[in-house]
Amino acid sequence: MHYVIGIDVSKATSQVAVAIDGKVTQHFKITHDALEFNQLNTIIMQFNKFPDIVFEATGIYSRRLKSFLDWHNYPYTYLNPLAVLRSQENGNNIHELAFSIRGDWLVKNNLYDPEIRMIDQNKLKHAEQEVAKTLINKGFNLPLGEDENDVVWFGVIHQDTDHLNMHLWFAKKSQETRSEMVKQEGKYKGQPIGVIPLEVIEQAKRQFRKQLMSSQELRRHQEILKGVGGFKKEIVETAPENLLNDRHAKAIKQIYDALPQDMKGRWQVGNAHLTAGKGKMAKANQLTNQLLDDLFDKELKPEYEGFKSLAQEYDAINIEDQGLMHKGQRKWSENKEDELRKRLANQLYKHLAQIEDTSLNDIDQQMSELLSHVKQKNKGNNVDKTKLIASPQEKNLAPKSLINTVNSNSKPVGEQMPVRGSSFNKISRLWQQDIRAETNAELQFLRNQNKVEHEKAQEQYESQVFRGL
């Protein structure tokens, strides 16, 4: 059941209305003294959970009521109706959003103690404030307010049977005139933009949960994400040496033959999935996906299975945090695997594009040279048994056997994959250089993020010390 206590505050008295599931069950008046505040306290305590307490900010008149609620640690919503009314009179939109968190999640993250029916209001209010800042400052083309005093917002946090619900309302005070913030054409030309992008809303929801998460749960999330990132890094870094070998030579040639030559230099998977059946890149994408399936089933099987297992574990965490998925919604693990496959495919396409069209040397001869180079390189290295380039049977095959196999299905020279003597070696070298550059960029980004988080934490600590003094 949903309990609401609405209080209309005046100079010396307040009108109190109690509603259960939208129906008013009690209505009475209290004076602003200890005796009658105790009467209000008795009404609040009769419910098996905290009701929503809502009242207007009326300057000095509402101060005693606010002090009483703060003393008893009751959650309440403190409204400024005049500011909201002015926003509406200016033609501005009032934006409304809602978040929901399961009761068992609150208990698990040490936010609610069911035995004493106590909820961590300070943490909830802090998380609510941070989410409001994100939506107000990042939900539109520009920050909603022209300065920090140009926005009014308020929130309501209430508990139903097994969920904690948070509702936010916010609006710009002054009339919106900025061109970036009003519609420029169509039926609603000149009116304020009223839609917050879905990705910003989802970001705010994640931020809200992260703010409330216990340190233990946060570490659990971080460890899984770190593990997923580690396996991904291992796969990306070892993909070139595991792809450019005799076992995959024929498959790579088929991929090159399937790539549209009129799009050379622009070979990309794009927004489509590798398995999509439409578009000029469809055949090459499908062949590349099959190549990656083979790679993940053989040479990189342990790394891929580790990546997939941890990603699916994070799916389970998301369901714990957010509830069951909507119909058609993709899992986090599915999105991460798509990203990995696209990254590997785009890297392969990028470096295949380095092959010069003017070179029409025989592909089989150049592949033989490449394989000899790779095998010589691997003889001097200690190779992990889980990352062997080819099976023992395949290693016993002479390069000529592969050449004959490829020759039996080869096209005329003019239609073959044009390669110079060092083309594949160049591909491998450039691919490794790109991987190192990307890895260094990612590490630098993480270092910068850690620095920002450290500075922010230091500022918060100094602020707390200052307030304490």
**Chain mean pLDDT for the chain:** 74
How far is the C-alpha of 67 from the C-alpha of 48, rounded, in Å?
Answer: 23
- The model's confidence at residue 406, banded by pLDDT at 50, 70 and 90, is very low
User: Who has greater pLDDT, 296 or 125?
Assistant: 296
Angle at 343 between CA 445 and CA 325, to 5 degrees: 85
Tally of CB atoms within 10 A around 213: 21
Name the range with the highest mean pLDDT among 80-84, 121-125, 368-372: 121-125
Would you state the pLDDT for residue 333?
A: 92
* Model pLDDT for residues 75-93, shown as the tens digit of each residue: 777 666 555 555 556 667 7
Q: Supply the DSSP symbol for 111.
A: S
How far is the C-alpha of 14 from the C-alpha of 24, rounded, in Å?
Answer: 16
Of the listed ranges 105-119, 160-174, 394-408, 425-439, the least confidently predicted one is: 394-408
What percent of the chain is helix, strand and coil (3-state, nearest 5)?
A: 55, 15, 30
How far is the C-alpha of 128 from the C-alpha of 211, rounded, in Å?
Answer: 9
- The model's confidence at residue 284, banded by pLDDT at 50, 70 and 90, is very high
**Mean pLDDT, residues 307-311:** 93
- The model's confidence at residue 337, banded by pLDDT at 50, 70 and 90, is very high
Of the listed ranges 3-12, 130-139, 154-163, the least confidently predicted one is: 154-163
Does residue 303 surpass a pLDDT of 60? yes
**Mean pLDDT, residues 392-408:** 36
Of the listed ranges 59-73, 86-100, 194-208, the least confidently predicted one is: 86-100
**Mean pLDDT, residues 92-120:** 78
Residues 1-79, CATH architecture? 2-Layer Sandwich (3.30)
Does residue 401 surpass a pLDDT of 60? no
How far is the C-alpha of 176 from the C-alpha of 188, rounded, in Å?
Answer: 14
How far is the C-alpha of 74 from the C-alpha of 62, rounded, in Å?
Answer: 15
User: Who has greater pLDDT, 11 or 466?
Assistant: 11
HSE value, Cβ hemisphere, 13 Å, CA-based, for 397? 16
Distances (CA, A) of 361 to 97, 153, 418, 422: 63, 70, 6, 11
Contacts of 279 (CB under 8 A, 6+ apart): 270, 272
Would you state the pLDDT for residue 309?
A: 93
Check: CB of residue 170 under 8 Å from CB of residue 112.
no
Distances (CA, A) of 146 to 151, 182, 367: 8, 14, 63
Check: CB of residue 349 under 8 Å from CB of residue 267.
yes
Does residue 466 surpass a pLDDT of 90? no
Sorted by where each begins, the domain ranges of the chain are 1-79, 83-212, 217-425
**At residue 113, what are phi and psi to the nearest 5 degrees?**
-105, 105
Token code pair at residue 105: 């999640």
Would you state the pLDDT for residue 423?
A: 52
Check: CB of residue 145 under 8 Å from CB of residue 153.
no
Check: CB of residue 7 under 8 Å from CB of residue 14.
yes
Helix axes 399-408, 363-379, angle to 10 degrees: 150
Does residue 232 surpass a pLDDT of 90? yes
Helices (H) and strands (E) in the chain, counts: 15, 10
Name the range with the highest mean pLDDT among 79-88, 177-186, 423-432: 177-186
